[in-house]
Amino acid sequence: MRRYLPFIIVGVVALLTVGSGVLLYRAHPPTVLKGGNSANISKADADKLHVRGDRDAQVTLEEFGDFQCPPCGTISSHLDDLVRDYSPRVRLIFRNFPLPVHAHAAQAAYAAEAAGLQGRFWEMHDLLYREQLAWTKAPDVLGLFNAYAGVLGLNLDRFKADMQSPQVKEAVEHEHEQGAKRGVISTPTIFVNDVGVSPQSLNEAGLHAAIDAALKGSASSSPKSK
Amino acid sequence: MTASRSRTIIFTIAAVLSLVGLAESTYLTVQFLSGETVVCAGSTGCFEVLGSKYARIGSFPVAGFGALAYFCVFTFAIFTAFGYRRARTFFSLTVCAMFVSTVWLLYVQAFLLHAFCRYCLFSAAIIFFLTGIVVASRPND
């Protein structure tokens, strides 16, 4: 028996390692909610939109956000919870609105857009909000964004080039202009089915109430709901 | 204490150390493959190191190679503890290779990236202990 014991020990450890690795991989919660594009927005615009949640959702939450704004970071997790809680009736659209007072907000928006060109917008979005305290104080913020891209498994050369590209900058500026046209002056600004949510209601209870009202409105106006 | 008994104790310690390293590097590999970023939460140094080009070979994380190496060290340590003499040579060779890799990775962190990753430092500490075992244990143990 002793002769076979080392083989047994090594075999058990190998099985435990592979088994726990597979379990850990499977247990990894989906950190990113994904979804399709808006049905009532043109195809060209829809392709550029960052949508989280169901494509046929009755209610659209539209956030104008700035990655360097602390309240945006706080409300971001609430918005994710709402999209989950109301799934599939609510979807979230994120639009960049970097404020000039925030030194790195525009670069953070470019980073998210550049990640989006490789299909990882929401991963970078979540990472930027979660690590907001760290990167806002970093001496080399661009270096840190590159590191984030590396951890997300992005093609780094492409990411660096995209961050500097006119395409990405124009996309951010376009969203900023759209926000300004709709009267956005601060972040976060949230619209629920095109109706602005007052700053006092930008909390979990206020957003719940706004969504419930929008759901009620869409149910009463939709013939399918009868 | 007999040579056989001291060998068993020394290589059991080595096996336990390599198990700790195996657990850590397996965790890092899985986090990398699943795209999870919480692993570095709050640590810019960790992001800078694990997000750098030095943290992967091709598209495979260096931590994955570490896990493989730790598993080999564990296997050779167990076989040496049970009296398989040839396993000791393989144990020493693997630990030496890991020591060289660790020195390189520490150099990269200190002089190329100017950032340190807590996981990498912990792994380096384990490998230094294992190297100490290789150096300190007598061949006839």
Kindly report, residue by residue over B27-74, the tens digit of the pLDDT.
999 988 887 787 788 888 999 999 999 999 988 899 999 999 999 999
Chain A residues within an 8 Å CB radius of B80:
none
| Nearest chain A residue to B32, by CA | A151
Tokens of B63: 């931590």
Which of B44, B72, B114, B120 is the best substitution to test chain A (most A C-beta atoms within 10 A)? B44
What's this model's pTM, rounded to 2 decimal places?
0.81
Which of A151, A152, A154 is the best substitution to test chain B (most B C-beta atoms within 10 A)? A151
Checking ipTM against 0.90, whether it exceeds it is no
Specify the pLDDT at position B42.
80
Lowest-confidence region among A4-8, A40-44, A146-150, B25-29: A40-44
Q: Do A147 and B48 touch (CB under 8 A)?
A: yes
Q: What is the pLDDT of residues A66-88, one digit of tens each?
A: 999 999 999 998 999 999 999 88
Specify the pLDDT at position A116.
94
Chain A residues within an 8 Å CB radius of B29:
21
Is the dihedral angle over the CA atoms B119, B121, B123, B125 positive or is it negative?
Answer: negative
Chain B residues within an 8 Å CB radius of A151:
37, 40, 47, 50-51
Q: pLDDT band at residue B141, thresholds of 50, 70 and 90?
A: low
More confident residue, A47 or B102: B102
Chain A residues within an 8 Å CB radius of B38:
31, 130
Cross-chain CB nearest to B37 (options A13, A17, A127): A127
Q: Do B30 and A152 touch (CB under 8 A)?
A: no
What is the average pLDDT score of chain A?
Answer: 87
